Chain A
Amino acid sequence: MIDALFNQPDYLAAKKQLDAIALREDAIASNIANLETPGYKRLDVTPEFNAQLQRACADGNSQEIAGLNPQIAVDPNATAVSPDGNTVDLDNELLEMNKNSLANTMETQLITTDFYRMRMAITGNAG
């Protein structure tokens, strides 16, 4: 019975987004670590994940959302910034890192608010 509370599409979507954000942080950390490794290609979470999540959310399909799995792959759109073929641009990575951090704040707030609403519905008081 309690499962129904945690199977709402928006809660599941926020959870999946948090997974993707953690994975993205991994990718960015790796990119910055390999700032000067010759021939290194920048990594990112595959754009398909966002598209699939958006589609599943629009359909309100909980099962489809739960089944999604974010993946890291080489970013095909990144262009080489140094003659050795390395595609990591530090400014861009720092920007992406801050964006990721902001997304993390948003998703954690979203989940917290979700919990708060549930608690209010169950107990009847806002405390």
Chain B
Amino acid sequence: MIDILSGVQSTAAALDAERTRLDVIAENIANANTTHGPDGKPYQRQMVVFESALKQAMNGSQIPTLQVAGIEKDTKPFEMVYEPGNPDANSQGMVAMPNVNIHEEMADMISAERAFEANLAVVKNSRAMALQVLSIGKH
């Protein structure tokens, strides 16, 4: 396949992957205080693992794009908080809170957003370049 927009394959894959990352961050933040999930345990923080995958480039050579290798559970221990009134408290009055750190999630979110923007900049640039090439011969 001939690409009019060069580089657009890797960029599209990256936008998709960053979007997944933002979704997972949103899920973590939403569940930052969930002490009782469907399995009865506190919510376990999730994280996206990226890997590069090879795709066919313009001149037939292989070029790495980005893809989500998987969504893994963070194995960090739960934080124990003293809250005897909580229905999920154990006999000592301690409640296991999810291992989600809001500050970490916010920083992660900003970094995902910036990566998303950088990829959009590539699309814009490729588009401008394609338009220039299409106007060859016009004076």
A contact set with B: CB distance below 8 Å:
18-19, 21-23, 25-30, 32-38, 40, 43, 69-72, 90, 93-94, 97-98, 100-101, 104-105, 108, 111-112, 115-116
A98 — which chain B residues lie within 8 A by C-beta?
A: 125
A25 — which chain B residues lie within 8 A by C-beta?
A: 6-7, 125-126, 129
Given A26-B63, A40-B64, A71-B61, 20 more contacts at CB 8 Å?
A: A19-B59, A22-B6, A22-B58, A26-B7, A28-B7, A29-B7, A32-B119, A33-B13, A33-B65, A34-B10, A36-B50, A37-B50, A37-B51, A69-B59, A72-B57, A93-B118, A108-B133, A108-B136, A112-B136, A116-B139
Contact assessment for B6 and A26 in the assembled complex, using a CB-CB cutoff below 8 Å: yes
Contact assessment for B59 and A70 in the assembled complex, using a CB-CB cutoff below 8 Å: yes
Task: Return A107 CB to nearest CB of chain B, in Å.
Answer: 9
Interface residues of chain A: helix, strand, loop or mixed (majority)? helix
The answer to whether A43 and B6 touch (CB under 8 A), given A18-B133, A97-B121, is no
Cα A100 to Cα B130 in complex, Å, equals 12
- For A37, A97, A111, A116, the residue with the greatest tally of chain B CB atoms inside 10 Å of its CB is A37
List B78-100 residues whose CB lies under 8 Å from chain A: none
List B112-133 residues whose CB lies under 8 Å from chain A: 114-115, 118-119, 121-122, 125-126, 128-129, 132-133
Cα A26 to Cα B57 in complex, Å, equals 7
